[in-house]
Structure 1
Amino acid sequence: MTKFIFSAALLMSLFICSCDHETNCDYTDAVELNVRVAGELTVLDRRDVPVTNYPVSIYFQKHRCDGGYDLVAKYSGHTDDNGKWRQLHEVCFSHERDYLTLTYLVGEGATQRRQYKHFAYTEIQQTLDATDSPFVAAHQYRINR
C-alpha cells in the first residue's frame, strides 16, 4: 500500500510540474518555460499613504495558443503594514503564443474593484533572461480614504 501511495504521489508531481501541450499548436519552435510569477498589489489612499489590512485577491489565468484558458490559481489575503500583498505561483508556458492574465481584486462587496493585466510569453522570457528572480507582475491601487 505504501509503495502504491508513493508511486501515485510521484506520478502526480510529474503531472503537475510538466506543461500540458495544447492541440492545434505548432511546437517545432516552442520552448517550454516554467516561470515563478510574483503577483503584487499595493494599496494607497488619496494621500499616497499605504493602506494596511485591506482585502485583496489575485487570480492567475493562463491563456493557451489554441484559444483555451485555465484558472491556474486564486489567492486572497490582506495588505501588510506597507500596503503591499504579494503571492508567488509557478506557471508553465508551452508555446510562445501563450500568455498570462492576472486579475487583481481590491476591496469587498459593492466597493470591490477589478483590474486585468496581460503578460506575453516573450515579455516574461526576456525578463527571465536578465535575472534569476521571479517575474514580478505588480499593480497599484488608490482608494478613496
Structure 2
Amino acid sequence: MEYVYPVAGFVGGMALLAASVFSAFVYTPTTPSVVDSVVTAFTGVTLQLGDFLAVSSVTAVLFDVLAAFGVRFSLPVPFAVGYLLTHVIVYYSSLRITDVQSQPLDPEFDIRENPLRLATLSIPGALLLLPTSRRQ
C-alpha cells in the first residue's frame, strides 16, 4: 500500500507520454493554424507532465528502496536527481519529437506489423533510440 501513489503516478505519466508520442507520430504540424498550435501544445504538455510524473515516481521508489537498505540521503539529493533526470529526458525527447515531426512517417513502416515500437517509444527517454537519419 506504501507505493500506491508512486505506481499510480508512474502509470499516469506513462499514459501521458504515450499520448504525446502517439500525437507526434499521427499528426505533423505544417501551418501556423489553430489546430496545429493545439496539437503542438498538447504534445508538449503531455510530454512534460508525463515525464515529470514517471521520473518522480521512479525516483521516489528508488530512494525509498535505498533507504530500506540503510543508504540514506538528505532530501535535496532526490529532488536534484529527479529534477536533473526530468529536464534531460524532456530536452532530448523534445528534440527527437521535433525530428519525427519534421519528416513524414516512413511509408515502409507498418505499425500493424510492429505495434510495440510505438508503445516502446512512450518510455521516458526511448525517443533517444530513434534513428536520426534524415531523408533528402
Q: Mark yes or no: TM-score above 0.5.
A: no
Higher RCO (Cα < 8 Å, 6 or more apart)? 2
The TM-score, its normalising length taken from structure 1, stands at: 0.27
The TM-score, its normalising length taken from structure 2, stands at: 0.28
Question: Higher helix proportion, which one?
Answer: 2
Larger radius of gyration: 1
